[in-house]
Amino acid sequence: MAINNEIKMGDSYSFLIEATEGSNPRPPAHEPPGKKKRGLLRIISLCLCFALLGGLIGGSVVYQRYALDAPASQEDEPPQLSTAANSATNKRSGAPLTASQVYEKGVISCVSISSVVTERMYGNPFTSTVSGSGFIISEVGHIITNYHVINGADTNKISVTLYDGKTYEAKVIGYDEDNDLAVLRINESGLTPVSLGSSDDLVVGSPIYAIGDPLGTLNFSMTAGIVSGLYRVISTDNSSDINTFQIDAAVNTGNSGGPVFNSYGEVVGIVTAKYADAGVEGLGFAIPIDDVRYMVNDIIDVGYVRSKPYIGITVTSATVAEHSVAGALVHSVERGSAADHAGIKEGDIIVEMGNRKISSLQDLLSARARHRAGDTVELRVYRDGSYLDISLIFDAKPQV
């Protein structure tokens, strides 16, 4: 069992983030560099007690912010990713695209990322190459990837290779460890950003396409599949309780941080992990793009995510057999927290958040991930045999 100051985890299954260490030979000059990944991931099947104290709870947020070698001009305003499901970035017309059309539209906005990491083993320093994928979100060089792709990297040794083969030194604008999210920037303009879709539109069975660099040599490969499941809460070595959706498209070493497209060529997710075990195939996980829009904006604005939703309760899953209803059972309420101000009490069982039915702790975590500090949400709680409707205004997770 893994225990930290905010979470005690019960039974869990071991997962592997597609990440390995070691040197990674560069392919021929006409090909982008390959990819490798590292880290462990697990899906939590049972939580004995979870401190639902804000954000996607895990370690404290640490961030770095670096200026580009050449600062952007005043005309180069940072992008703002709309949180509206039908924003201009989501406008589409015509029939869904073929797989080849999705690739043609999306691949020019995809990138390869390679970083040099210095670590110590038995007291001796050694270097390794950690690589991954990413995608362009602005004409002036902002790029989204996973935090674990650049974790521990020498800030002067992160390189990004575009589809046209050009390679650039990248700087870290900021990141959020809890959500396995990072924003980089290269000193270039006139780039082609991806079109963003809405992950809210996804249903089980929706066709999806992932583009990345599997195995470190198969650069800018596309795999196809469907959405296999929604609201999967996973944890990694660096991040805890990330809301994801499950896909059966093949993802391998090198895909982390790459985009997941819908059938209109719009990005609806970020590949973050795969299940790795003998006899297991087709279990990949992607972060919904709608969950991270405001996070990306915060990172670009101030270098970190400042708007993580904070409730202020500890909860476990409640079952019908033990409590007459299924939901998230409140064990304690932090004094002065959002929950305290809303009137939530110890022993309450949260059964709905907004329009989402809550049948377990994982459902509550997933539903909360769609909100930010300052949002108002309607909760339905079961208390002493009756149902109550409660309005809650999310606080911001304190910066530790």
Instruction: Tell me how crowded residue 103 is: count the other CB atoms within 10 A of its CB.
Output: 20
CA distance 199 to 40: 25
CA distance 191 to 79: 13
Instruction: Give the CA-trace dihedral at 98, 101, 103, 105, to 10 degrees.
Output: -140
Contact 215, 254 (CB under 8 A): yes
Contact 228, 246 (CB under 8 A): yes
Helix boundaries (H) for 268-360: 289-302, 320-323, 338-342
Burial 245-266 (b: 16+ CB within 10 A, else e): bbbbbbbbbbbbbbbbbbbbbb
Contact 233, 243 (CB under 8 A): yes
Contact 247, 208 (CB under 8 A): yes
Contact 345, 337 (CB under 8 A): no
- Cβ neighbours for 1, distance < 8 A, ≥ 6 positions apart: 8, 9, 10, 12
| Active site members | 148, 180, 256
Which is nearest to 150 in space by CA: 89, 66, 260, 252?
A: 66
